[in-house]
Amino acid sequence: MKRIVFALLILGLGMAAALGRPTIAAAETGGRFILMDTERKVVTDADFHGKFLLMFFGYTFCPDICPTGMQDVAEVLDLLGKDVADVSAVFVSVDPDRDTPDVIRDYIKNFDERIIGLTGSKASIDSVTKKYRIVFKKVEDKPGDPDYTIDHTASILLISPDGKYIRRFGFGTPPADIVKTIREYLVR
């Protein structure tokens, strides 16, 4: 029952975002974070100021949703053409136990090496997911199962060059629609 309620919560947030409707938490989404990139360098939200930021939260062992989301982010970067110079993209792991910097680096190579992989301690991941309104939960068939999955919010977040949350795109939003939105902000 808890898993159904959790899935409905994630679906509801995604549907509201996909329809372009602001969610109650929209005004409170985002903020400072301190994580580590695939070169084991400390990275903060401030490192991305001055550019739009696309954020996708997931994990490298994800069987279907994350590869699709990552492919969408890669396609957005391609469709932006010369405008890609004004955009950064990050993949933030919600699985710090398995997603080491090396694992994330290899994973990103499957999509687009312009995407920056980020991870951190469990406390760091918990902090950034809370601030960015990302819900996730480890799902084990039995305690200690190394092949666990993680239910998680599967949207792409758009953050402004000054670090402010703009909106989230629900899972399955066509990359061309994301590019259109980014370009609307670029001309302002």
Q: What average pLDDT score do residues 129-158 get?
A: 89
Look at domain 2-186 and name its CATH class.
Answer: alpha beta
Q: DSSP characters for 28-55?
A: G-----EEEETTS-EEEGGGGTTSEEEE
How are beta strands 87-93 and 115-119 bridged, if at all? parallel
Angle between helices 175-186 and 65-79 (to 10 degrees): 40
Average pLDDT of span 124-142: 91
- Give 63's DSSP letter: S
Report pLDDT digits (tens) over 166-177: 999 999 999 999
Flag whether the pTM goes above 0.85.
no
The mean pLDDT value for 7-20 works out to 44
CA distance 71 to 77: 10
Give the pLDDT of residue 13.
Answer: 46
Give yes or no for a contact between 73 and 111, defined as CB atoms under 8 angstroms apart.
yes
Q: Is the pLDDT of residue 24 over 50?
A: no
pLDDT at position 159 is 95
The CA distance from 94 to 58, in Å, is 6
Residue range 80-127, pLDDT digits in tens: 999 999 999 999 999 999 999 999 999 999 999 999 999 999 999 999
How far is the C-alpha of 153 from the C-alpha of 112, rounded, in Å? Answer: 21
Residue 147: band (very low, low, confident or very high) from pLDDT cuts 50, 70, 90: confident
Average pLDDT value for the chain: 87
- Per-residue pLDDT at 19: 43
- CB contact at 8 A, 150 and 94: yes
Tokens 């998680």 belong to 152
Rounded mean pLDDT, 172-184: 96
